[in-house]
Amino acid sequence: RSTDTASFEVEDVGIAAGTYRLPFSWRDAAGKVTRAGTARVVFYAPVREGPEGDNPRVRLTNPGTQSNVTGDASEESEAFIVTTPSDSDRIAVGINGGTSMSAWITGNRGQTWTKRTLPQSLDAPGEAAPEAGNVCCDPMLAADTLGNIWFGGLTFANGAGNPSRIVVNRIAAGTDSFQALTTGLPARTSGTQDKPMMTVDNSAASPTFGRLYVVWDEPAGGGVNIVISQCDTRVLGYPNASRCDNADNWSIPASVTPATGGYIYADVAAGPDGRVYVTWWDYSATNAIRGDVCNPSAQNCAAASGWGTPDTIAALDATGGNPVPFACPILAQPGGRGSTSPQVDVDRSGGAQDGRVYVSWSDLRPGSGATRCTGSGSPASTHLTWDSYVTSAASGALPGGVGALDEIFELAAAKQLKMDEAHGKPLFILNVAGYFDPLREMIRNAVGRG
């Protein structure tokens, strides 16, 4: 009896952690199958994202750890952060600061940082030659399962006939540099756009796996409208991220909100089944945090017709009757200002609450100074319907195991609500209000895991 051995290699390109069984077969010289079986292959989550406890592959940063990202002495605000799903040591940070639009990249979990400035030349829709941009501010970040980092913001009209646009650029996997041309997204009006936010559908089971979404507000119908544009980084299931470097592959912005009204501070998230959730502040007479959802399996989310009647998540009336008391009050420092900028994300952990939507925002009622959040009802809900509200502990801990904030900050418009994918818990990434201490960009989350 003889024993044969063989080995094979599988490259992880964003495969979810778990145990997989891969079929194999032995063939003789004539090509006849002599033996067949199944190999058991275990994919572990990227370091620092695996299960807590005894997993030797996990590296946790101590709570309160700081990393001086920018090393700059200029005024900075609106900090945003993203890690790539396939490598949590690869991090990008964007801020408003200085005279250019820049991102800072690290591949060693913040030990060293590389600054990259967004190119001013734009690939614009329908134009053969590059368009001269005037890249400004309002950073947004997202990362896909292939390791691409997507970074963007807005550009003002440059005085030479080129319009204001929302812009996006890509830092490809394994690199730390932008593409030569920044992508200028289609614009519906000649007015200015503002407050963009971005996400990627990173759920492999989703029918729109790999789709990029960007939302922002722009003038429309005598008011300000929330719009959405999208681009697919996969074609027939195969990755092709570079196609979204071409402005012509982005959809014409579609209205999410009614044609008239006052809407601002949009955010967007994609659920595990591809549903797209958009939230915003309605600062008209309604004065409420509102949202809507589009199911790409049933509707065209690139068209206004794909978006239904918005749902009111919480009214912000001055009487104190609404919103009712509920989770995660984060006290503001004396004199601090809150922000009604709502943030949304979805549980994609595969656990019991897979598909549950979370929204957070600040309460601007006099004397409140609190940031609030809530979770949606049934994870499979078509609309944004909300649970009965509960009160968090004085420490700021949410029911369900989310830990206390390790430090409390005066809040600004720029905060992030993101899901801890491995544990199905909401995280809050906060920065100090307004223009803050230029010596530090503080990167933290709300569960004390660094």
Nearest-5° Cα angle at 293, 289 to 296: 160
- The confidence score (pLDDT) of residue 440 equals 27
188: in domain: yes
Q: Supply the pLDDT for residue 252.
A: 95
**Distance between CA 261 and CA 258 in Å, rounded?**
7
Asked if 384 and 375 touch (Cβ cutoff 8 Å), the reply is: no
**In-domain check, residue 399:** yes
Question: Looking at the domain assignment, is residue 8 inside a domain?
Answer: no
Domain contains 312: yes
**Tally of domains in the chain:** 1
Strand 121-123 with 182-184, pairing = parallel
The pLDDT of residue 134:
85
User: Is 448 inside any structural domain?
Assistant: no
Structure tokens at 4: 């044969």
Task: Quote the tokens at residue 252.
Answer: 């014409």
Q: Quick one: which of 48, 47, 45 has its CA closest to 449? A: 48
Q: Is residue 10 part of a domain?
A: no
Which residue range forms the structural domain that includes residue 96?
A: 18-432
- In 317-448, which ranges are E strands? 343-346, 357-363, 370-375, 411-420, 425-432
Q: Tens place of pLDDT for every residue, the chain, 450 residues? A: 555 666 666 654 456 667 778 788 888 888 888 888 888 877 665 443 334 444 333 344 555 556 778 776 666 777 788 888 888 889 999 887 766 788 999 988 888 889 999 999 999 999 999 999 888 888 999 999 999 999 999 988 777 778 889 999 999 998 999 999 999 999 876 677 888 999 999 999 999 999 999 999 988 767 889 999 999 999 988 999 999 999 999 999 999 998 778 888 899 999 999 999 999 988 776 777 888 999 999 999 999 999 988 888 777 654 433 333 323 333 333 333 335 678 888 888 787 778 888 777 765 444 444 455 555 555 444 444 443 333 334 444 433 333 222 222 222 233 466 665 555 555 554 433 332 222 222 222 222 222
pLDDT at 244: 98
Kindly state whether residue 69 falls inside one of the protein's structural domains: yes
Rounded to the nearest integer, the mean pLDDT of the chain is 72
Query: pTM for the full model?
Result: 0.72
* Tens-place pLDDT, residues 1-53: 555 666 666 654 456 667 778 788 888 888 888 888 888 877 665 443 334 44
Q: How many CB atoms lie within 10 A of CB 87?
A: 20
Rg (CA), the chain: 23
Residue 444 inside a domain? The answer is: no
For residue 328, the model assigns a pLDDT of: 32
The CATH number given to whatever domain includes residue 49 is 2.120.10.10
